[in-house]
């Protein structure tokens, strides 16, 4: 029998960090005796954050934009892999250029309408996701497959719209939320 508890030999009296005493009942489950306590229901209410709806709206908008452009970054990655494999089969520079023009023409035919319908924000996200998927910025890709002059021209056009083709993807910094959203998409939760 424990001190302080009259008539109950299956209980333990414990003092918590606040100095209160609790009666722990010993319960046997699956042949093992464990202490158990009944807790009162706790209701937790958070303070309403000023401007909280705005942050939820921004997150929902980011999810929408990433879900819209992420498949295109995967297509770009796959196309570049295929182009690089096929370019190895063309030792002649003239044949390489012809092949690249054909690939560019096919890409414009298939995706130009979709790209033109993207918002500027979606374009910015796509530029970052291209860097994430290919390990090269959009500027570097244009320069590599077309020319430095063409890359500079498109960089100028992008700058007019407040975008930068040289933007790098930073999953631990400013692009942390995009990385979380992509993780959720890949896990099938979004």
Q: What is the per-residue pLDDT across 34-77, written as a single tens digit (0 to 9) for each?
A: 888 777 787 777 776 677 788 889 999 999 999 999 999 999 99
> CA dist 13 to 3, 6, 17, 29, 39, Å?
8, 11, 14, 20, 15
Query: Where do we find the tokens 């209160």?
Result: 20
pLDDT of residue 127: 94
Distance of CA 44 to the CA centre of its chain: 30
Reported confidence tier of residue 10, pLDDT bands at 50, 70, 90 = low
Bridge partner residues of 22 (DSSP): 14
Residue 7 predicted with pLDDT over 80: no
φ, ψ for residue 41, nearest 5 deg:
-65, 135
Cα atoms found within 13 Å of the Cα of residue 59, Cβ hemisphere only:
11
pLDDT of residue 2: 43
Nearest to 112 by CA among 72, 152, 147: 72
pLDDT of residue 67: 96
Q: Report whether 72 contacts 126 (CB < 8 A).
A: yes
What is the arithmetic mean of pLDDT over 15-38?
76
Alpha helices (runs of H) in the chain, residue ranges in sequence order:
52-87, 93-116, 120-134, 138-145, 148-160, 176-186
pLDDT of residue 1: 38
pLDDT of residue 21: 66
Ranges of each domain in the chain: 1-45, 52-186
Q: What is the per-residue pLDDT across 111-167, written as a single tens digit (0 to 9) for each?
A: 999 989 999 999 999 999 999 999 999 999 999 988 899 999 999 999 998 999 999
Q: What is the per-residue pLDDT across 90-114, written as a single tens digit (0 to 9) for each?
A: 888 888 889 989 998 999 999 999 9
pLDDT of residue 65: 97
Residues in the chain: 190
Could you give the CA distance from residue 51 to residue 53 in angstroms, rounded to a whole number? 6
Q: Which residue has the higher pLDDT, 119 or 3?
A: 119
């Amino acid at each position: 029998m424990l001190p302080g508890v009259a008539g109950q030999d299956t209980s333990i009296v414990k003092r918590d960090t606040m100095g209160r005493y609790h009666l722990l009942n010993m319960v046997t489950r699956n042949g093992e005796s464990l202490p158990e306590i009944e807790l009162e229901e706790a209701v937790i209410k958070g303070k309403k954050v000023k401007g909280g709806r705005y942050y939820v709206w921004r997150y929902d908008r980011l999810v929408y934009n990433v879900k819209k452009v992420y498949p295109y970054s995967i297509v770009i990655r796959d196309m570049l892999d295929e182009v690089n494999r096929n370019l190895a089969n063309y030792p002649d520079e003239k044949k390489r250029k012809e092949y690249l023009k054909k690939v560019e023409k096919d890409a414009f035919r298939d995706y130009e309408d979709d790209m033109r319908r993207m918002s500027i924000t979606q374009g910015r996200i796509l530029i970052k996701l291209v860097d994430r998927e290919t390990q090269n910025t959009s500027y570097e890709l244009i320069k590599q497959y077309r020319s430095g002059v063409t890359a500079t021209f498109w960089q100028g056009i992008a700058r007019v719209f407040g975008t930068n083709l040289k933007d790098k993807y930073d999953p631990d910094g400013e692009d942390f939320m995009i990385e979380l959203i992509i993780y959720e998409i890949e896990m099938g939760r979004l």
